[in-house]
Amino acid sequence: MPVIELRAWSKDDLELLHRANTPELMDQLGGPENHEQVLARHERYLRLQREGTAHQFRIVIEGHPEGVGIVGYWQHESHGEPALEAGWSVEAEYRGQGIAPAAVIAMLEAARSAGESLPVHAYPRVDNPASNAVCRKAGFRLLGEERFEVKPGLVLQTNDWVVDLEPLARA
């Protein structure tokens, strides 16, 4: 896997969010957003990070401190139980290099280090083999298919993947 670094979401990451606002990357969220919606999402990421209810990260690789993608986790409810949900995107020109699985693994380690212990779910569409492969490579286990409401009125047929966050072993 490539060497990646995760950097906590900051006010400087708005341009990265604009670059991720493509039809291909936003199809699972209902399509690209207008400038005001991207700005609102950026502000929401910053606010939720301050509140401690969500953590987004810029994915950095050598030579690209501006970031090549986004990965994060946030509070979620799965079948009435508290959980975390994970999501990620990597810019098209950097796909197929193992960046997404490495970033998801690093994000899970960051969550563990932060004391998170809830199960982490990911919901890639059933027809998205690349994101389903990321889940497998990052150690998630497949629970099955599920209809998942991404936002009001937008329901997708997804796979429900989960990974349990085990506490770090104390030496």
SS3 162: strand
- Residue 29 is encoded by which pair of tokens? 């969220």
Each residue's pLDDT, cut to its tens digit, for the chain (171 residues) gives 679 999 999 999 999 999 988 767 666 666 678 889 899 999 999 999 999 999 999 999 999 999 999 999 999 998 899 999 999 999 989 999 999 999 999 999 999 999 999 999 999 999 999 999 999 999 999 999 999 887 788 888 999 999 999 755 544
How far apart, in whole angstroms, are the C-alpha atoms of residue 163 and residue 169? 17
Give strand pairing partners of 72. 56, 87
How far apart, in whole angstroms, are the C-alpha atoms of residue 143 and residue 19? 32
pLDDT number for residue 149: 81
pLDDT number for residue 29: 67
pLDDT number for residue 171: 45
How far apart, in whole angstroms, are the C-alpha atoms of residue 138 and residue 97? 14
pLDDT number for residue 71: 98
How far apart, in whole angstroms, are the C-alpha atoms of residue 128 and residue 161? 13
Indicate the pTM of the whole model.
0.91
Q: Which residue from 109, 141, 103 is spatially nearest to 122, judged by alpha carbons? A: 141
